[in-house]
Structure 1
Amino acid sequence: MQIDTFVQDGVTVSKISGRMDATTVAQFNEECQKLLAAGAGRIIVDLEGLEYISSAGLRGILTMGKACKSAGTVLAFCSMQAMVADMFKLSGFTSILKVYPSLNEALAGMR
């Protein structure tokens, strides 16, 4: 899994690519903790390059959501491929997390 993080329009964006599963979710969790420790107030996780997410990956997403809520950080996800979007829907995440079709729409939603 590859994670590229940058700031755009005052919002921290993390682009995830590859696979998020039991072997890579720790890397995702570490990146999330770094962002929160750095005081990121608004985070978008761009999942355009994420090809696969397992149940362990979904737990990592849920853990991040809870940590952001506790820290008062606004969190959103965007640009999901069909398989990842289906997993978010089946798990009920689309009803508890902010999800946008594209990065531009997520940035607009963060304003």
Structure 2
Amino acid sequence: MSDQRIDIEEIGAVTVARFLDKKILDEANIDRIGQELFGLVDQDGRKQIVLDFSLVEYLSSAALGKLITMHKKVSAAGGKCVLCNIQKDIMDVFKITQLHKVLTLCGDLDDALAKF
């Protein structure tokens, strides 16, 4: 599918979902990302997921809602969701919204993979 918003890579038992957009702002795009992420858990039954933000420069508050839903879905399935490679501006948003206390955030992919 050419309209994919995330790139999926399997590293051992862990699924790495890499966001392909620099800016995750518009509603349609965010819904698409949400569907792809939730599908990893709901359809594919994946429980160990890393969300890689290395390409992402901007994230809207609506996108934060999808991340929280994703975190809850994975937790409910008995799994773990870890975020990594988050740029400073986005990290600041996570801190302002207190999301850094809810979500598991790591510096890079190696750190994230070590959480499993």
User: Given the two structures, how large is their TM-score scaled by the length of structure 2?
Assistant: 0.88
Query: Residues 53, 78 of structure 1: CA spacing in aligned structure 2 closer, same or farther, 3 A cutoff?
Result: same
Matched, 1:31 2:41: no
The question of 1:20 aligning with 2:24 is answered yes
**Alignment TM-score, normalising by the size of structure 1:** 0.91
Query: 1:90 pairs with 68, 92, 96, which one?
Result: 96
Q: What pairs with 1:25-104 in structure 2 (closer than 5 Å)?
A: 25-36=30-41, 37-104=43-110
Q: Which segments of 5 or more consecutive residues in structure 2 lack a partner in the other structure?
A: none
User: How many residues are treated as equivalent by the alignment?
Assistant: 110
RMSD, aligned CA? 1.4
Show structure 1 runs of 4+ deviating over 6 A.
none
| Kept in 2: contact 1:5–1:15 (CA 8 A) | yes
**Aligned counterparts of 1:17 and 1:49: Cα–Cα separation in 2:** 6
Name the % identity.
28
Q: Deviations over 1:43-85 (max 9, x none)?
A: 0000111111011111111111111121112110000011111
Measure the CA separation in 1 of the matches of 2:106 and 2:28: 27
Higher strand share: 1
Which piece of structure 1 moves more, 64-73 or 16-25? 16-25
Structure 1 spans left out of the alignment, 5+ residues: none
